[in-house]
Amino acid sequence: MFPDMCQECGFKGPADLPVAPFQGRNPVYLSGIDDLSMIFTAESNPKTNLLGFKGVVSVIWGTEWASRRSDSLLFGSWVSTVVALRSGCVSLQLFAPIEGIGATEKRDDPVRTAVLSDIHGNAVALKAVLADIENREIDQIVCLGDIIGYGPDPLECVDLVQEKCKWALMGNHDFAVFYEPTNFNAPAESAAYWTREQFEAEPDESTRRRRFEFLGSLRVRAVEDLMGNGSTILSVHASPRRPINEYIFPEDASDAPDKLEAIFERVENIALVGHTHQPGVFSNEPDFYPPSEIGAEPVFKFIEDEKAIVNVGSVGQPRDYDPRACYAVISPGQVEFVRVEYDIKQTADKIKSIPQLHDWLGDRLFEGR
Residue 129 sits in the same domain as residue 71: no
Domain boundary among 60, 94, 128: 94
Residue 53 sits in the same domain as residue 123: no
Q: Which residues are registered as beta bridge partners of 74?
A: 79
Residue 166 sits in the same domain as residue 60: no
Q: Please report whether residue 1 resides in a domain.
A: no
- Are the C-beta atoms of residues 146 and 237 closer than 8 Å to each other? yes
Q: Please report whether residue 41 resides in a domain.
A: yes
pLDDT at 54: 35
pLDDT digits (tens, 9 = 90+) for 3-20: 344 444 444 443 333 333
Q: Please report whether residue 262 resides in a domain.
A: yes
For 95-134, letters b (16+ CB in 10 Å) and e give: bebbeebbeeeeeeeebbbbbbbbbbbbbbbbbbbbebbe
Domain boundary among 41, 61, 94: 94
pLDDT at 282: 98
Q: How confident is the model at residue 295 (pLDDT cuts 50, 70, 90)?
A: confident
pLDDT digits (tens, 9 = 90+) for 53-81: 333 344 433 333 322 222 333 332 223 33
Residue 214 sits in the same domain as residue 75: no
Give the least confident one: 161-170, 200-209, 235-244, 287-296.
287-296
Residue 137 sits in the same domain as residue 278: yes
Residue 221 sits in the same domain as residue 326: yes
pLDDT at 108: 56
pLDDT digits (tens, 9 = 90+) for 119-150: 999 999 999 999 999 999 999 999 999 999 99
Tally of domains within the chain: 2
Domain boundary among 94, 128, 155: 94
Residue 78 sits in the same domain as residue 144: no
Distances (CA, A) of 70 to 80, 176, 281, 311, 356: 12, 10, 30, 25, 25
CATH for 293: 3.60.21.10
Q: Please report whether residue 5 resides in a domain.
A: no
Q: Please report whether residue 232 resides in a domain.
A: yes
Q: 0.75 exceeded by the pTM?
A: no
Q: Please report whether residue 10 resides in a domain.
A: no
Q: Please report whether residue 326 resides in a domain.
A: yes
353 by Cβ neighbours in 10 Å (0-12 / 13-18 / 19+) ranks as exposed
Domain coverage including residue 56: 22-94
Q: Please report whether residue 104 resides in a domain.
A: no
